[in-house]
Chain A
Amino acid sequence: SQQGEEDPQALSIQEGENATMNCSYKTSINNLQWYRQNSGRGLVHLILIRSNEREKHSGRLRVTLDTSKKSSSLLITASRAADTASYFCATDASGANSKLTFGKGITLSVRP
């Protein structure tokens, strides 16, 4: 079953604009992670935010986590055509045997 649900399913923006993608989940988590997948390739880990963190930055990426609302957002600032890809949130649920459960992903298109 899908733990994370991303929103929107697809996003199209102009190069230079910011892209905001959202993720909601259902159960308690240890951490939440965001991944990128280019067409025909494997997933690439972007950033991890732990359940006791509220915000994290990595280059042009900013991730927030609201555990009370069970939601997270990924912001890509000053987008580039090379950011065109699918983005997935994945949750590592609390428990002895943690494992990542992925959402269905958001397709981001950045127009040059």
Chain B
Amino acid sequence: DAGVIQSPRHEVTEMGQEVTLRCKPISGHNSLFWYRQTMMRGLELLIYFNNNVPIDDSGMPEDRFSAKMPNASFSTLKIQPSEPRDSAVYFCASSLGSGIGGYTFGSGTRLTVV
């Protein structure tokens, strides 16, 4: 298995533009998580899905953020419009099930909003 695949690896965009981050979880994993990492706030859970259904989106900072999981092999995190304070590394992770075992993380998307 190639692991959790995220794209793009790096994204530089102008303030106000729409940004879409993509994630392909490990086949067979039924839980998917989106985290954001910054120096100031560390790793923050934004949203997670079980069996493609959003379970907890309480970490999504604002209405500008939205996430979808149309099927078991694909998820997107969208920011519209983007702001400089959204600059961070965004990680996607998947696991066999919530509470069962460890997470497998993707390599992350480094987002810079200028």
Given A2-B42, A42-B91, verify A99-B102 contact (CB < 8 Å). Answer: no
- B60-114 residues with Cβ-Cβ distance < 8 A to A are 91, 93, 98-99, 101-108
Is the Cβ of B104 less than 8 Å from the Cβ of A45?
Answer: yes
The 8 A CB mask of A8-47 against B (1 = contact, 0 = none) is 0000000000000000000000110101000001111100
Contact B105 A42 (CB under 8 A): yes
Size class of the contact patch on chain B: 20 to 34
Q: A97-B56, A102-B43 are in contact. Are A42 and B99 (CB under 8 A)?
A: no
Q: Which of B4, B42, B48 contacts A104 (CB 8 A)?
A: B42
Contact A103 B42 (CB under 8 A): yes
CA gap between A92 and B33 in the complex, in Å: 13
Least distance between A32 CB and chain B CB atoms (Å): 11
CB of A30 within 8 A of CB of B99, answer yes
| Residues B91 and A92 in contact, CB atoms below 8 Å apart | no
The answer on a CB contact under 8 Å between B91 and A43 is yes
B45 within 8 A of A: yes
Say if the beta carbon of A52 comes within 8 Å of chain B. no
For residue A72, give the distance in angstroms from its CB to the closest CB of chain B: 15
Do B45 and A101 touch (CB < 8 A)? yes
Q: Does B12 contact A (CB under 8 A)?
A: no
Are A97 and B98 within 8 A (Cβ)? yes
On whether the beta carbons of A31 and B107 are closer than 8 Å, the reply is no
- Please tell me if the beta carbons of B101 and A43 are within 8 angstroms of each other in the complex: no
Given contacts A41-B107, A42-B108, A97-B56, contact A88 B43 (CB under 8 A): yes
- B22 CB to nearest chain A CB (Å): 15
Is B42 a contact partner of A99 (Cβ separation < 8 A)?
no
Which residues from chain B sit less than 8 Å from chain A, CB to CB? 4, 33, 35, 42-43, 45, 48, 55-56, 91, 93, 98-99, 101-108
Q: Which A positions have Cβ atoms within 8 angstroms of B?
A: 2, 30-31, 33, 35, 41-45, 48, 88, 92, 97-105
Task: Write 15 A-B pairs (CB below 8 A) sorted by A numbering.
Answer: A31-B99, A35-B105, A42-B4, A42-B91, A42-B105, A43-B93, A44-B105, A97-B56, A97-B98, A99-B45, A99-B55, A102-B42, A102-B43, A103-B42, A104-B42
